[in-house]
Amino acid sequence: MIDPRRLRVLRALAEHGTVTAAAQALYMSPSAASQQLAALETEVGHGLLERRGRTVRLTPTGTVLAAHATKIAAQLEQAEAEMAACSEGLAGEVTIAAFASAITEVVAPAVATLREDAPQVRVRVKDAEGHASQRLLIDGAVDIALSVEHRDIPGQNSEQLLREPLYAEPFDVVLPSGHRLTDVPEVDLADLSDDPWVTPWPGNPVHDVVLRACEDARFQPRVECLADDSRAVCALVAAGAGVALVPRSALHGIAFGGAATRPVRGHRPTRRVFTAVRRGSERHPLLRLALRELRDRAAALRS
């Protein structure tokens, strides 16, 4: 009989690549994870790992079993969801991971509404930039992830996750006070090809959007300052350090200190935000409630 708890360790190893990383994701010690994997090999009667010095890789048999482990995990999630749906009332806890502006504009208002309409539901929130929210979701640390389309998202086409579009928003140009283009109603990005730029760090999805937008305008931005926080970006622009492209929702509530914002002329760079849950859990009544409220808040943001 295969212990499903050991399959969870095998899934984590397949996802993270090393025993140490898998153990960290599952809040286990590396030695405990290794013991679980060794016991799993004994249970199935096949070698699942190839040990090469200090590293390991899955054998063909291990790869097959890891794929089945993913399907089994989805079935268990679905079973829990259906059992919860059979119970009366909604009570419990939902954990959401999202990036800062999504928390401000969508998640926090959703939490406020749920606290009023469903006080028996506790919502926990974790700030996670880039694709970190997806990793937390895959590892079981959160129930819902809000993330941005990005080429480096882990498991984007994985059977483990179910993704749904939530909202899309344009980027606006942020200009320092006195900039030559502050008098125009819309800014052509090509007119900023000679300016210094302030962008998020590489690896941040917003950084990629900015680079692609500049490439579409046929220039490579001269990046002089790097900051992931939109308030810091706008503060640097206001100080004259350069120009920037910032998602519109991230500009809400920022004191610009002399900086000005303008829409982009023509094709506007866009950030597309989606929700993700572990496949099989989407029917859980608590998750459906939270997802519905997130969609309502996102619709209000679009309007």
Give the model confidence (pLDDT) of 11-29 as tens digits.
888 888 888 888 888 888 8
Q: What per-residue confidence (pLDDT) applies to 29?
A: 87
Under a CB-based contact definition with an 8 Å cutoff, are residues 110 and 293 in contact? yes
Same domain? For 178 and 249 the reply is yes
Q: What percent of the chain stands above pLDDT 70?
A: 93
**CA distance linking residue 270 with residue 267, whole number of Å:** 9
- What is the predicted pLDDT for the residue at 73? 78
pTM assigned to the model: 0.70
pLDDT of residue 5: 81
C-alpha–C-alpha distance, residues 40 and 164, integer Å: 35
- Domain that includes residue 198, residue range: 169-270
User: Mean of the per-residue pLDDT values for the chain?
Assistant: 86
| Interatomic CA distance for residues 303 and 293, integer angstroms | 15
- Indicate if 25 and 118 belong to the same structural domain: no
Check whether residue 74 and residue 197 sit in a common domain.
no
Q: Are residues 116 and 179 in the same domain?
A: no
Long-range (24+ apart) CB contacts under 8 A made by 43-49 are 43/1, 43/2, 43/3, 43/6, 44/2, 48/10, 49/13
Residues 181, 154, single domain; the answer is no
Mean of pLDDT values over 33-56? 79
DSSP H helices in 26-131: 30-44, 60-86, 100-102, 108-117
User: pLDDT value at position 152?
Assistant: 47
In terms of domains, do 191 and 277 share one? no
Q: How confident is the model at residue 303 (pLDDT cuts 50, 70, 90)?
A: low
Mean pLDDT of 253-273: 88
Most confident range (mean pLDDT) of 113-117, 147-151, 224-228 is 224-228
DSSP state of 200: P
Tokens encoding 23:
């153990």
Single out the residue in 61, 84, 107 at which a domain terminates.
Answer: 84
Q: Do 71 and 207 fall into the same domain?
A: no
- pLDDT surpasses 80 at 53: no
At which of 65, 84, 103 does a domain end?
84
